[in-house]
Structure 1
Amino acid sequence: MVEGRIIKALSGYYYVKPHQKGQPTIQCRARGIFRKRETSPLVGDFVMVELSENGEGTVHEILPRTSELIRPPIANVNLAVLVFSLVEPDLNLQLLDKFLVHVEKAGLDAMICFSKYDLFKNSKDASKQAEAINELVQYYESIDYPVLLTSKRTNEGHDELLAHMANKTSVFSGQSGVGKSSLLNAIIPGLTLETNQISSKLGRGKHTTRHVELLELSNGGIVADTPGFSQLDFTNIEQEDLGYYFSEFRAYIPDCKFRGCLHRKEPKCKVIEAKNQGNILESRYEHYLFFLDEISQMKRRY
């Protein structure tokens, strides 16, 4: 048996890099028993591989995971780097907060990269929006999410980003067209991931990354490039738990009058009081209510 890590999954094959240095990557299939168990190997999994005579292998065992994401499908990640563009496409804060809920649910650390900062600074509305962006950055940092303003053209924020990723397994996530692949090309010398321009008709990008793959960094870190996507659902989150995945809510929830408070209209709700006092960002609270309704509607459908 050979122990290694799945660094890529493509067309039913898993590509496993052995832990032993100097050993080539092994192309593998998965055992049929995983299908019976209704599970499957994921990129990032540490696995045991049984070698065959032709040099290929079979994923025989999946070792215990420390974390798991559904979309993108990846395991054993420490840090989620959420890439959201300030322009082209416009900043989507509701989707950012939805990503943060899922990252909190998975128990990962998160940092936020606001990309295309050079394009934002050169836009016609930059002077009007600069103060709002600065306030936004300060708020997310106050609730323990590091925020970087990055640009592939000026290399702004790249050194800070690499420092955060050192000796960690990171996953880049965000909707299509925000510049994830471009950012990775800029911070990893010699990398040439495919990129596409934003569609002027649709206002969003095409899916240039079609699979999940782990890429090595020079500082001991590993990063996953993943397909972009714009939809996440809440099938695995209950209404009563949603508030705990908004990090700034957690300090107030124990002092709400009612156990199981949904922080919607309940009397003596400390989350609502904090929002009214300006301690919780209005947009974050509005997104919480929107997600709460989305969960409610989803439960009714099922």
Structure 2
Amino acid sequence: MLAEGKIIKSISGFYYVLSEDVVYQCRARGVFRKRKITPLVGDLVKFEADNGTDGYIIELLPRKNELVRPPIANVEQALVVFSVKEPDLSLQLLDKFLVHIEANEIEAIICFTKMDLLTATERERLFDVASLYRSLSYPIFFLSIVEQENYAPLKAYLKDKITVVAGQSGVGKSSLLNGLDTSLQIATNEISTHLGRGKHTTRHVELLPIAGGLVADTPGFSSLDLSHFNEEDLSLYFPEMKQRREKCKFRGCTHLAEPHCAVKDALKSGEIAESRYNHYVQFFNEVKETKRRY
């Protein structure tokens, strides 16, 4: 039987393919190894199933995109999960996540977790920060394990989508998934007080059926490599800069020292946030330094 399906889990050389509500345990044909092609969770595939539940992947269908870490394909949107305490919120790291997501043409949804740990004054400061990102068209959700009603509006974003959950360790990604679907009971760990970060409780990439969509629970990580970016493309991944770069006087403007720069003009007038521009400069220099070393 030749059929089409979607890889929802990959463990130890076995690929679990969902097709018409049935999951098939498949191996990949040797031709993939010879061509140095690795099937990924999220891939649409053609497969043969000879005995009902076991089979072989015959062909990978074209990918919309693919991520390296986590290794997953055809992602449509990302829940970018950042805690507001334990660990403290890092806007620089948030912007680095958003740059990677924009570069892969994935929609981003920002989720601030552990809201119950904030004082009233701290909440007000966070709402000011959130308004900046909301002005860039990023949906914002404020979540905590003691305010379960806040999860309901988020579920509407998941329907019929492949969603990846991204964020550093210990920010509550597994708790968020448990909040979205209480039947999951994904293992969670508290923050390590010695290391100041969460333990890696998620060991593999798997697409979980949640709220009418498929959501990837992925290993947490705390840094993102910019080495594969080009300096001249970096501003494309800042929406507020992308929409203004065509108005710069010079083609290929880096928005650093060039005259008649629309981005710097917007910065001066307050239309672009200083924090976002400063992070752009940091990332630009990071990319430049990486290229210089190699």
- Normalised TM-score (structure 2): 0.95
Corresponding residue to 2:158 among 162, 165, 169: 165
User: Which whole-Å CA distance do the structure 2 matches of 1:15 and 1:286 have between them?
Assistant: 44
Corresponding residue to 2:128 among 122, 131, 135: 135
1:300 Cα offset (Å): 1.7
1:149 Cα offset (Å): 0.6
Answer yes or no: is 1:5 the counterpart of 2:6: yes
Contact in 2 for aligned 1:150/1:156 (Cα 8 Å): no
| Alpha-carbon spacing, 1:137–1:200, altered in 2? closer, same or farther (3 Å) | same
Aligned residue runs from structure 1 range 214-225, under 5 A: 214-218=207-211, 220-225=212-217
User: Which whole-Å CA distance do the structure 2 matches of 1:280 and 1:178 have between them?
Assistant: 28
User: Which whole-Å CA distance do the structure 1 matches of 2:258 and 2:283 have between them?
Assistant: 17
Answer yes or no: is 1:149 the counterpart of 2:113: no
1:54 Cα offset (Å): 8.9
User: Which whole-Å CA distance do the structure 1 matches of 2:118 and 2:158 have between them?
Assistant: 25
User: Which whole-Å CA distance do the structure 2 matches of 1:88 and 1:167 have between them?
Assistant: 33
User: Which whole-Å CA distance do the structure 1 matches of 2:168 and 2:254 have between them?
Assistant: 29
User: Which whole-Å CA distance do the structure 2 matches of 1:86 and 1:8 have between them?
Assistant: 31
User: Which whole-Å CA distance do the structure 1 matches of 2:33 and 2:274 have between them?
Assistant: 45
User: Which whole-Å CA distance do the structure 2 matches of 1:179 and 1:164 have between them?
Assistant: 19
Q: How many residue pairs align between the two structures? A: 293
Opposite residue 3 of structure 2, the aligned amino acid is V
Opposite residue 65 of structure 2, the aligned amino acid is S
CA RMSD of aligned residues (A): 1.6
Answer yes or no: is 1:29 the counterpart of 2:27: yes
SS of the residue 2:242 aligns to: coil
> 2:116 aligns to what?
118
User: Which whole-Å CA distance do the structure 2 matches of 1:288 and 1:60 have between them?
Assistant: 43
Answer yes or no: is 1:291 the counterpart of 2:292: no
**Which 5+ residue runs of structure 2 have no aligned equivalent?**
none
Deviations 1:88-124 (A, max 9, x none): 0000111111111111111111110000001123xxx
| Alpha-carbon spacing, 1:194–1:247, altered in 2? closer, same or farther (3 Å) | same
> 2:175 aligns to what?
182
**Which 5+ residue runs of structure 1 have no aligned equivalent?**
none
Aligned residue runs from structure 1 range 1-302, under 5 A: 1-18=2-19, 20-21=20-21, 23=22, 25-52=23-50, 55-121=53-119, 126-127=120-121, 129-218=122-211, 220-302=212-294
1:290 Cα offset (Å): 0.8
- State, as a whole percentage, how many aligned pairs show the same letter: 53
Contact in 2 for aligned 1:171/1:223 (Cα 8 Å): yes
1:55 Cα offset (Å): 4.7
Opposite residue 247 of structure 1, the aligned amino acid is P
> Which segments of structure 1 move beyond 3 Å, counting only runs of 4 or more?
52-55
1:236 Cα offset (Å): 2.7
